Amino acid sequence: MMNSSGVAVLGRGLTVVRGGRTVLRGIDFTVHSGRITGLLGPSGCGKSTLMRAVVGTQARTTGTLEVLGRPAGHPALRSRIGYVTQAPSVYDDLTVRQNLDYFAAVLLPGRAARDARREAVARAVADVDLTSHADALAGRLSGGQRSRVSLAVALLGAPELLVLDEPTVGLDPVLRRDLWDLFHRLAADRGTTILVSSHVMDEAERCHRLILLREGAILAEDTPGDLRARTRSATVEEGFLRLVDAADGKAGERAGAHAEEKAEKSAGESAGESAEENAR
């Protein structure tokens, strides 16, 4: 559902420390309602950590993080957010349908909700294109099929915000395309806000908006088109690399200027010292 402000997630000065390391460094970012926002960046840059903070499972966060108008982690958000981690969380000894029935019973308990549960399960199985495998044991599915069962579980409660941690890893190109089509249908038809991470830059082109992360800092927040135009690049990947080089260049310039300053200072000091020596 579209948030009246058009903002689904707002982070300001978000800092996360994990195992004594600062993994997110005071970042500011916005996830727009009803849009697909891609969270992209190299392995280890902090994508999963940011997602964990958004869904409220990340300890040791500081700064502001508002999700659907509430502070991240607020109990009222649980039923409004669907979260799919990188590791599929399904019961291997249950069929696809039994997995979904189980989670539906938690989400929509009681006899009165029986029809609603059945409908929600059938819709979620169809959404991820697993109707023909509904009675197969999850343990006998391929990796890609198992991760789609996880996605179906997340879709059960028709969440307003869907947080997907690298959902297309290990999928073949056809399945990847089908999943992206599904994300677009969810955003367009149901107004679902989607925050999806990937380190495959060609997936960036399929997002409405992008957050590019590098070493725990935001490198850019833009639409793919504006990012390409601004960096005069043919692809988002090229644009990303230009921004990395520019950031490194600036860091290099800063280091260079600092080194020059230091050299001037020490030259001044040693000139002073030798003047002193001469005066002795």
Ligand X SMILES: Nc1ncnc2c1ncn2[C@@H]1O[C@H](COP(=O)(O)OP(=O)(O)OP(=O)(O)O)[C@@H](O)[C@H]1O
Place of tokens 């990847």: 176
CB atoms within 10 A of CB 107: 16
> In the complex with ligand X, which residue's Cβ is closer, 157 or 216?
216
> In the complex with ligand X, which residue's Cβ is closer, 45 or 156?
45
CB atoms within 10 A of CB 124: 23
44 lies in the site for ligand X, by CB under 6 A: yes
String marking each residue 45-74 x if it binds ligand X according to CB under 6 A = xxxxx-------------------------
String marking each residue 137-176 x if it binds ligand X according to CB under 6 A = ----------------------------------------
> Smallest distance, Å, CB 76 to ligand X?
26
> In the complex with ligand X, which residue's Cβ is closer, 58 or 99?
58
Dihedral (Cα; 51, 54, 59, 63), 10-degree rounding: 120
**Size of the residue set binding ligand X (CB under 6 A):** 13
> Smallest distance, Å, CB 61 to ligand X?
12
> In the complex with ligand X, which residue's Cβ is closer, 166 or 222?
166
> Smallest distance, Å, CB 25 to ligand X?
11
Give, as ranges, the residues between 207 and 226 that touch ligand X (CB under 6 A). Answer: none
Give, as ranges, the residues between 4 and 23 that touch ligand X (CB under 6 A). Answer: 18-19, 21, 23
Residue nearest to ligand X (CB): 19
> In the complex with ligand X, which residue's Cβ is closer, 138 or 201?
201
> In the complex with ligand X, which residue's Cβ is closer, 48 or 145?
48
User: For the purposes of burial, counting CB atoms within 10 Å of the CB of 259, is it exposed (0-12), middle (13-18) or buried (19 or more)?
Assistant: exposed
Piece of the chain touching ligand X by CB under 6 A; list 44-52, 201-209, 228-236, 270-278: 44-52
Give the separation between CA 72 and CA 67, rounded to whole angstroms: 5
Whole-number Cα distances in Å, 60 to 6, 24, 57, 176: 28, 11, 10, 34
> Smallest distance, Å, CB 49 to ligand X?
3
| Contact footprint for ligand X (CB under 6 A) | 18-19, 21, 23, 41, 43-49, 199
